Structure 1
Amino acid sequence: MALKPKGFILSGGPRSVYEAGAPHIQEFILDSGLPILGICYGMQVLTHTLGGKVKPSQEREYGNAVVESLVSSQIVSSLSFQAWMSHGDRISELPPGFVALARS
């Protein structure tokens, strides 16, 4: 890696992890040993790739949502905040070894 990143952020997107041609995580990211933050689709594809479960939501969510922290950490403070959300899938089970820091 020429850029020498300290971690990776996998951002959101309009796709489902089950759609044909949906973006996937490149193997070098998983093999890097660096921290990975998944946001929306990024967390869904990370979950799907590493053995967790992603399922369709009962109804599509679109608009403002409250994000609340579940634990206080360096990444997530103990505060809740509003964020824009647009997705149709949800994580129903985290991959082995994962810990949820926040939820919406």
Structure 2
Amino acid sequence: MFVMTYSQARQNLATFLDKAKINGEAIIKRADGSRFKVIPITEEKTESSPFSELAEYSSTINSKLKQIPLQNILQMMKEDEDERTDRILAAASGKTIDDFFDKLKKL
């Protein structure tokens, strides 16, 4: 615990506050014997949820799905997985990513 008199703290406020920050607290002692504790306020770090990135990705996917007609989505759901994979790979071959997504929207 770091203790300074009122006069010392007033003359060396920056140093006093630095000591309070380092030690977690500092005490000012007045001539009449009263004491005051100074405690630094630390900014609480707001950690994002581990699922925040997943939620953001999900909203991106949902916005993409809204651009695809419902009939196409239902058709894709009914298709066999291998057929769908073959169709997607065929659509992607030799294309840029933008071309691929444009083609995927049309399927």
Assess same fold via TM > 0.5.
no
Indicate the structure with greater helix content. 2
Q: Which gives a bigger RCO, structure 1 or 2 (Cα 8 Å, sep 6+)?
A: 1
TM-score of the two chains, using structure 2 as the length reference: 0.19
TM-score of the two chains, using structure 1 as the length reference: 0.19
Indicate the structure with greater strand content. 1
